[in-house]
Amino acid sequence: MKRTQLCDGVFLNYFSSDKFKTDYLDINIIFPLKAQTATLAALLPQVLKRGSQKYPTMADMTKRLDYLYSTGFATNNFKRGEAQILNFGVDFLRDSLVPAGTNLMSEVFDTLRDIIFFPLTENGAFRAEYVESEKKNLIDAINAVINNKNSYAMKKCHEAMCAGSDYAVNAGGDIEAAKTITPAELYDFYCNMLAHSSFEIFYTGMCDEATLAERVKALIKGLPRKEIYPVSTQKFVSERTEVQEITEEMEVAQGKLIMGFSSDHTMCDEDYTAYALFNELYGGSPTSKLFENVREKLSLCYYCRSIPDAHKGILTIASGIEVENKEKACGEILAQLRDTADGKISDEEFVSAKKSLINGYRELFDSGNNLHIWYLARLIAGSTKTVEQVIAEIENVTKQDIARCARSTKLDTVFFLKGTLNSGGEDDE
């Protein structure tokens, strides 16, 4: 990777690759996650996708992208710790696959510039009709979290753990906040966001670095630069003396068990790699302790996995179980954690976890998007380590390191979505 600063707060991260049929470009706009702005940020990309000055309707925009050999254009909105990120990504065919004389890259960059920086406006605000329609869609999307029971339960668990802090803010937006947004307010947010955010731009493809830098400079030409609002991530600290137990009933077949732990390890820490390996060994792979014991030995579930939030310092265990097996599953999950903390780690488990994690990191190089996401996560945490460096670190982690990570992992909250439909496979068709 080559990283260069293009202007104040704007960085270009360049990867040369000839493996793909397409080139990938990702523009990440990064700013602090705040209750006042999160919903505006969630709404913004949806409105930008409705129309730009040159392509004022969705159909115009789609036809333009189709014409550009089906250039993929996607937006994404997410949080990492207390940072909110708006992502605009394109992937487009490399030059050798389009007819000679087509300057596809240049046309794609022009179109992207138009969509992001030249939106359709009226009287100094976004077009009211688009804003109103997308507010409704946003509210529907926020409500739709309940459709995926596992994500819903995880969200509720994290909200309960971090209530009142910036981290509890939903990057996807808040319904009450969405209702009151005006087109002018959204436009103001947009202008401020452009001026005060940092930009991490990633590219993977065959273009040479110098040419690419020129093209990206042209793409962001005229970007206003004012004081850049710094983002920071704060480690989760559990202040509870007793585990918080929350049960919510819902008319579903399966119970969703979510256990939230404070991990005391974030990517900002020099020794985070040990924690990543602990996670792999404990619940991150099909050879992990949780898979092996909760699923294979006890047949309690189809999935039981651990998911680290590397910016916040939270470890989440998620599993889908019969309601009556809740205590049994919780007990086994904690017993496996205790065993790990006590250093009960076989050579086989240890080596498998290392190989599995290393393989996962090596595979990053074969997906433009995943490589970008991996580096972005580290940059936000203030780490400049490369994939190769982290792989070398994995080799040096010891069993004692893993046991230490397990000991620092403390249960904070158990959220249980209790299914109330009768068990026994009742079919309602």
Partner 1 sequence: MSNFVLKENKAIDEKYYYTKHKSGLPVYVIPKNHGTGYAVFGTNFGSIDNRFSVDGREISLPDGIAHFLEHKLFENEDGIDTFKKYAEYGASANAYTSSDKTVYLFSATENMSESLEILLDFVTHPYFTKETVDKEQGIIGQEIRMYDDNPNWRLYFNMLTALYHSHPARIDTAGTVETIAQITPETLYDAYNTFYNLNNMALCVCGNIDPEEVLSVCDKVLKDAPEVSPERIFPKEPENVFQKEITQKLSVSMPLFSVGVKDIHQPSTGKELAKKQAEYEMILELLFGKASPFYTRLYEAGLINSAFSAGYEAHTNFGFCEVAGYSNDPDKVYSEMLAEIEKYKKSGFDPEDFERIKRVFYASNIRAFNSTDDIANDFIAYIFRGFDMLDYPEVISSVTLDDVTKRFNEDFTEERIVLSKILPL
83-93 and 72-80 strand pairing: antiparallel
Cα distances from 118 to residues 42, 112, 130, 143, 191, in angstroms, run: 19, 9, 15, 31, 11
Q: Does residue 226 bind partner 1 (CB under 8 A)?
A: no
- The least CB distance from residue 112 to partner 1, in Å, is 17
Of positions 2, 3, 179, 362, contacts partner 1 by CB under 8 A: 362
Could you tell me which residues come within 8 angstroms of residue 93 by beta carbon, excluding any fewer than 6 positions away? 21, 22, 69, 70, 71, 104
Distance CA 192, CA 195 (A): 5
Residue numbers 403-422 binding partner 1 by CB under 8 A: 419
Residue numbers 70-99 binding partner 1 by CB under 8 A: 70, 72, 91, 93, 96-97
**If you compute the radius of gyration of the chain from its CA atoms, what whole number of angstroms results?**
23
Of positions 58, 128, 191, 392, contacts partner 1 by CB under 8 A: 58
Query: Nearer to partner 1 by C-beta: 245 or 363?
Result: 363
Q: Does residue 387 bind partner 1 (CB under 8 A)?
A: no
Query: Nearer to partner 1 by C-beta: 149 or 326?
Result: 149
Of positions 81, 205, 283, 320, contacts partner 1 by CB under 8 A: 320
Query: Tokens for 389?
Result: 């460096």
Of positions 28, 52, 77, 254, contacts partner 1 by CB under 8 A: 254
Q: Which stretch binds partner 1 (CB under 8 A): 5-13, 188-196, 215-223, 314-322?
A: 314-322
Q: Does residue 206 bind partner 1 (CB under 8 A)?
A: no
Is residue 300 within 8 Å of residue 417, measured between CB atoms?
no
Q: Does residue 155 bind partner 1 (CB under 8 A)?
A: no
121-122 and 125-126 strand pairing: antiparallel
Q: Which stretch binds partner 1 (CB under 8 A): 155-163, 177-185, 252-260, 371-379?
A: 252-260
Query: Nearer to partner 1 by C-beta: 189 or 291?
Result: 291
Q: Does residue 359 bind partner 1 (CB under 8 A)?
A: yes
Residue numbers 129-148 binding partner 1 by CB under 8 A: 133, 136-137, 140-141, 143-148
Q: Does residue 22 bind partner 1 (CB under 8 A)?
A: yes
- The least CB distance from residue 134 to partner 1, in Å, is 9
Cα distances from 323 to residues 131, 306, 318, 424, 428, in angstroms, run: 43, 20, 14, 12, 19
Residue type, 324: E
Q: How many residues bind partner 1 (CB under 8 A)?
A: 71
Of positions 110, 185, 209, 322, contacts partner 1 by CB under 8 A: 322
Is residue 329 within 8 Å of residue 303, measured between CB atoms?
no
Q: Does residue 301 bind partner 1 (CB under 8 A)?
A: yes
Query: Nearer to partner 1 by C-beta: 22 or 121?
Result: 22
Q: Does residue 192 bind partner 1 (CB under 8 A)?
A: no
Terminal C-alpha separation, the chain: 54
Q: Does residue 386 bind partner 1 (CB under 8 A)?
A: no
Cα distances from 244 to residues 88, 239, 309, in angstroms, run: 38, 11, 19
Of positions 1, 125, 184, 253, contacts partner 1 by CB under 8 A: 253
Q: Which stretch binds partner 1 (CB under 8 A): 240-248, 281-289, 377-385, 402-410?
A: 281-289
- The least CB distance from residue 342 to partner 1, in Å, is 22
Distance CA 240, CA 5 (A): 43
